Each structure stands twice: as C-alpha cells, then as structure tokens.
C-alpha cells in the first residue's frame, strides 16, 4: 500500500513539476521546478530498487549540474519580451522534436510490451542478491572496462581542453605567491634606524 | 521497533508506519534539543577562549540561554521585503532546515541503531549535503537584495568546490572499508590498527584524509574560517540579511544541525563511530548495555569534533575568497586525488594480491 502511494506521489509530482518547468514564466522558477522533477525521479528509481542510480542522480544532477545551472540563470539578465518574440519562429521546429520524441516513446513501449526485451531476457541478467553497486561495478570494470576507460579519457581531454581554452596569461596582475610570503623574514623586510631630530628619514 | 508495535496487535504495514514515525521523532526531537545546547556550548567555548564569560544569566550557568533566544525569535514579526519573491523567500529556510534533519536518518547511533541502515548510506549523505546549498542560493536570490545575492553566489561556488575533495576523501575510506554502508564502515574499523586501535584515523595512510575532511567539513558548513557567505564586514549578514523571526531561526538551527552532522560523520568515518577507541572488551558495555555505551562513545567523539570547530572559530581569521578557492582546487583536490591512487595501490598490494 505504501509502495503504491509513494509511486503515485512521486509520479504525479514528476509530471506536474515537468509541466511547470516549461510553463513557469521566470527562468529561475523553471530551474527550481526542474530540480524538483529530478528529485522525484530519484524517488521513483528508489521504488524500482535502483538505489545507486537514485543517489547518483541526486548527487550529480541536483547537487552539481543544477547548482551551476541555477547559478548561470540567476546571473543572466533575461529579457522576457525578446524571449517570447522567438516563440512563433521556433514553434515548427519544437513541434517536430516533440513528434519525434513521442514516436520514439511509442516505439519503445511497443517493443517492450510485444518483443522479447523483458528484464529476464537481457544478456547480463541481474542476480537479485547482488547489491546494485556491485552489479554496476562488475559490468563497468569487467565486461566494459575498455569502453569505460575510453569514456573517462574523453572526459579528461574535454576538461583539459576547457581549461586550456579559457586560461590566459594577463600582464600587469600580481598574483599571490604564498611560498614567497611564507619565506619572507622580518630581517628582510624591516630595519631599525635612529634618525636625528630635524634630519628627516631616508625611505 | 516494528515487532514491538506488531505485538500490540497492529498489521505489519501499520506497525512499520508507526514505528518509523516514532523513530523519526526519537531522532529529530533530541537533535533539536542538542542543537540548542550545542549553540550554548559554542558560545561558552568561544567566550572561554576569548577570556569572556559568555551567556550566564538565563538559568543556571546560562544553560537556558538558547531557549530564551528561541522564544524571542518566535515572538517576533516575520518581515517579508516588498520586492522579495514571496514563496521562495519562505521556502528557503524550510529547505535548509529539512535538509539538515533528513541526513540524520542513516546515522548509526549504536550497534543496530540506525533509522535506515541502507547500503548506500554514504552516498545518501553526500547527496543530501549537496542539497544544503539550495537553501542559501534560493534565499539569496529571493531576497532581491544585493548582499544576499553576493552571498548566494559565493556559497554556490564554495560548496561545489569543497564537495569534490570531500568526495575523494570518502572514496578512500570506502575503499578501505569495502562498503558504502555506515555501519559496515564502522565495523571495518574494529581493531583496524594492530588489532588494538579502532578507527581509520589512527592509520597513517588515512590520517591526512581525516585532516582534509575536517577542514573541508568546515568549508562545507560555511563555518569560520570559511564563513564568506555571511562575512559581516563585507556582506552585512550574507544570505540571512533580510530574514527575521522564525525564518531566521530555521537557518540557524539548520546550520548547527549540519555542523553536528559533519562532526558525526567525522567520528563515524575516521574515529570509529560507536566503537571505543581501544579494542578492549570491557569498554564495549561499561554503561548498562552495549547500545548506551555505543551512544556514549559516539556522542563523546561528536563533542570533541565540535570543540575543534569552535576552537577554529575562535582562533583563525577569515580566508579571502581567492585563497579559499586556491585551497579547495589547488591544494585539497590534487592531494586527495593522489591519495586515492596511493590507497588503492596499497590495498591492491596487501589485500587483493599484487599490483598486476
């Protein structure tokens, strides 16, 4: 009973907040609705028994990606009038994408319910006694090790590339050199003098 | 506890429901009391280090000071600025407070004494603590005011930065323990060093990680020396500037509940949680039952951790923003990354049979 209640709670909030994401007038509200949708999607995954994926969804999307997203959206000064002006222009394109997505969903559900893609006919069936994390770990680090490491290297290269592209040496800035500051001793920086009265000081 | 309610004649589902609700209350209400007392302790420690007296008027030794403060903010008027985003302005403190409380669901207080002893407990805590930043960001944005907004931007960058190094620290602990479950991690620490000392922190390979975790925890909870989000000399009071009354109190309670949570995590991950520091049988149940003794050890470790937090507050000046970012990205991230490689290499060598 609690399962069913939780499912309908999470599912209805996911759908409602997904709708609010596109309907909200304020982009910051949109992002917040999106975060609520992520959160409840994680709840649905928990109900499916995929606790590792659920935690990663919150950790990666809600904890990091959406924070940066919110950060950017808050900083932008968005002109709503100009934003709506493009609505008619992008409408056909948007409808096309929506139709493609709908067709894909229908196809996927059709294959799922008529074909032999059920959970028990997959190549690597999951042993119910093995915890989620272990099952995923075995798949990633055993069976698909090479592909997984390749994906890791692609991400690393992308990260290095992003840093190289944005890094620039600016002339005229004096960055803090902490090692140099710590090495500095009072003897190097100060001196004691006994100036005569009326002579002034030598700087 | 479910079995107890079932013995009262309830069906399993109802017994589970009632047992869970009462366990939640059993954790949340003492936690709020602990937060009130820890605020008092914080002020007293601070006063002692600064050679002041601290709160000493309300009740014996000023013990009731936090409750007097609570009563005061409760009776004040909730002010909502006219240009604020009303809904979000009120939701933000609730988010901070809720997030600070729900993380306690997986903390094991003693042997078999966690509300939910799930096998991804550490990931759950990491996920929940990454949600904490939303309260600050939303409050900063919804206040529609300059200083809270600056504070929100600082908080977002700061928490995302330090979460990275915390993640790597947790990873090296998880590799040693071989599990994400908090009670599993605690059990793995029994007799960890020479079969005598309980705690990963006594292991020279993991001690530097414990130090990095402690400092990152201070940054994650925006505690001095990393309290740039509410730096009063620059930002009035940061994201709390426009808040008053209960909404302000919720921020405060949430902040201290978060600090306690970080101290509890420090105790559980590195200093053995509810295990006594030395693996010697009489230390496991010298107070009535093993459960109560376990709680005694855990609370002792949490309080010691909190004392270090207070000590750092009283002693250290605030970091500048670029220094904060340098420490997170250029010092902690490389060290913890190298340490993950070191720890996994050591474990391959000793536990999993050779490097190849």
For the segment B228-233, the average pLDDT, to the nearest whole number, is 75
Closest CA to B157 of A75, A183, A110, A84: A75
Percent of chain B with pLDDT over 70: 98
CB proximity under 8 Å: B 81-140 to A: 88, 118-120, 123-124, 126-128, 130-131, 133-134, 137-138
Query: In chain B, how many domains are there?
Result: 1
For B118, the closest of A51, A56, A67 (CB atoms) is: A51
pLDDT, position A153: 95
Residue B61 lies in a domain: no
Structure confidence at residue B356 (pLDDT): 60
- ipTM greater than cut 0.90: no
Residue A128: the pLDDT is 67
Strand partners, B197: B193, B278
Contact B13 A52 (CB under 8 A): no
| pLDDT for the residue A67 | 83
pLDDT higher than 70, residue A103: yes
Minimum Cα–Cα distance from B88: chain A residue: A29
On whether residue B110 sits in a domain, the answer given is yes
Range of the domain at B150: 76-350
Confidence of residue B81 (pLDDT cuts 50, 70, 90): confident
Coil, strand or helix at B197: strand
CB atoms closer than 10 angstroms to residue A21: 17
The mean pLDDT value for B261-270 works out to: 90
The answer to whether position B289 is within a domain reads yes
- Examine residue B58 and state whether it is found in any structural domain, yes or no: no
In a domain, B38, yes or no: no
Q: Does the pLDDT value for residue A125 go beyond 60?
A: no
Searching chain A, which residue's CA lies closest to the CA of residue B14?
A2
Q: Nearest-CA neighbor of B251 among B160, B163, B152, B108?
A: B152
Task: Report which DSSP code applies to B62.
Answer: G
* Binary contact (A133, B180; C-beta < 8 A): yes
Q: How far apart are CA B327 and CA B336, in angstroms?
A: 12
- Predicted structure pTM score: 0.82
B199: left (phi over 0), alpha (psi -120 to 50) or beta: left
Mean pLDDT of chain B: 84
More confident residue, B232 or B113: B113
Listed by start position, the domains of chain A span 8-81, 86-121, 123-169
Q: Which residue in B17, B347, B53, B300 sits closest to B205, CA to CA?
A: B347
Q: How confident is the model at residue A158 (pLDDT cuts 50, 70, 90)?
A: very high
Residue B197 sits at φ, ψ, to 5 deg, of -90, 135
d(CA A156, CA B46): 45
Q: Which residues of A touch B126 (CB under 8 A)?
A: 55, 59, 63
Q: Is B70 a domain residue?
A: no
Say whether pLDDT at A117 is over 60.
no
User: What's the confidence (pLDDT) of residue A59?
Assistant: 86
CA distance B179 to B174: 6
CA distance linking residue B46 with residue B313, whole number of Å: 8
Among A3, A55, A72, the residue to mutate for chain B (most B Cβ within 10 A): A55
Of the pLDDT bands very low, low, confident and very high (cuts 50, 70, 90), residue B20 is: confident
In this predicted structure, the answer to whether residue A83 has a pLDDT above a threshold of 70 is no
pLDDT, position A101: 92
Give the right CATH number for A8-81 from 1.20.120.1200, 3.40.50.620, 3.40.50.300, 3.40.640.10. 1.20.120.1200
């Amino acid at each position: 009973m609690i399962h069913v209640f939780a499912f309908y709670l999470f599912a209805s909030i996911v759908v409602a907040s997904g709708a609010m994401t596109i309907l909200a007038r304020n982009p910051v509200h949109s992002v917040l609705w999106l975060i609520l949708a992520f959160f409840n999607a994680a709840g649905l995954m928990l109900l499916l028994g995929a606790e590792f994926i659920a935690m990663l969804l919150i950790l990666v999307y809600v904890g990091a990606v959406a924070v940066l997203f919110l950060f950017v959206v808050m900083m932008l000064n968005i002109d709503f009038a100009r934003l709506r002006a493009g609505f008619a222009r992008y409408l056909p394109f948007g409808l096309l994408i929506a139709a493609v997505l709908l067709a894909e969903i229908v196809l996927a559900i059709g294959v799922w319910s008529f074909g032999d893609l059920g959970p028990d006919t997959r190549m690597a069936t999951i042993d119910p006694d093995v915890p989620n994390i272990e099952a995923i770990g075995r798949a990633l680090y055993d069976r698909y090790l090479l592909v997984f490491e390749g994906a890791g290297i692609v991400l690393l290269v992308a990260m290095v590339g992003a840093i190289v592209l944005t890094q620039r040496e600016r002339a005229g800035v004096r960055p803090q050199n902490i090692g140099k500051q710590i090495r500095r001793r009072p003897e190097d920086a100060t001196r004691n003098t006994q100036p005569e009265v009326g002579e002034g000081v030598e700087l | 506890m479910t079995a107890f309610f079932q013995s009262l004649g309830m069906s399993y589902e109802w017994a589970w429901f009632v047992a869970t609700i009462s366990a939640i209350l059993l954790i949340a209400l003492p936690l709020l009391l602990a937060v009130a007392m820890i605020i008092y302790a914080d002020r007293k420690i601070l006063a002692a280090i600064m050679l002041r007296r601290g709160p000493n008027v309300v009740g014996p030794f000023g013990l009731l000071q936090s409750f007097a403060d609570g009563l005061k903010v409760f009776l004040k008027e909730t002010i909502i600025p006219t240009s604020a985003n009303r809904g979000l302005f009120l939701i933000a403190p609730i988010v901070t407070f809720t997030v600070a409380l729900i993380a306690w669901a997986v903390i094991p207080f003693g042997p078999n004494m966690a509300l939910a002893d799930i096998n991804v407990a550490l990931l759950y805590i990491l996920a929940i603590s990454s949600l904490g930043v939303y309260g600050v960001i939303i409050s900063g944005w919804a206040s529609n005011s300059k200083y809270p907004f600056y504070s929100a931007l600082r908080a977002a960058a700061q928490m995302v930065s330090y979460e990275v190094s915390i993640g790597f620290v947790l990873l090296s602990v998880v590799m040693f323990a071989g599990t994400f479950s908090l009670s599993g991690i605690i059990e793995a620490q029994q007799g960890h060093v020479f079969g005598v000392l309980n705690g990963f922190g006594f292991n020279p390979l993991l001690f530097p990680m414990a130090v990095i975790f402690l400092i990152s925890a201070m940054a994650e909870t925006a505690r001095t020396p990393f309290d740039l989000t509410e730096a009063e000399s620059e930002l009035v009071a940061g994201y709390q500037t426009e808040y008053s009354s209960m909404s302000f109190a919720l921020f405060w309670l949430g902040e201290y509940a978060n600090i306690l949570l970080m101290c509890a995590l420090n105790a559980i991950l590195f200093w053995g949680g509810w295990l006594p520091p030395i693996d010697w049988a009489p230390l496991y149940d010298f107070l009535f039952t093993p459960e109560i003794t376990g709680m005694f050890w855990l609370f002792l470790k949490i309080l010691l951790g909190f004392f270090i937090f207070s000590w750092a507050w009283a002693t250290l000046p605030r970091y500048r923003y670029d220094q904060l970012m340098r420490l997170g990205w250029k010092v902690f991230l490389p060290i913890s990354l190298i340490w993950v490689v070191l720890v996994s290499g050591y474990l391959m060598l000793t536990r999993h049979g050779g490097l190849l």
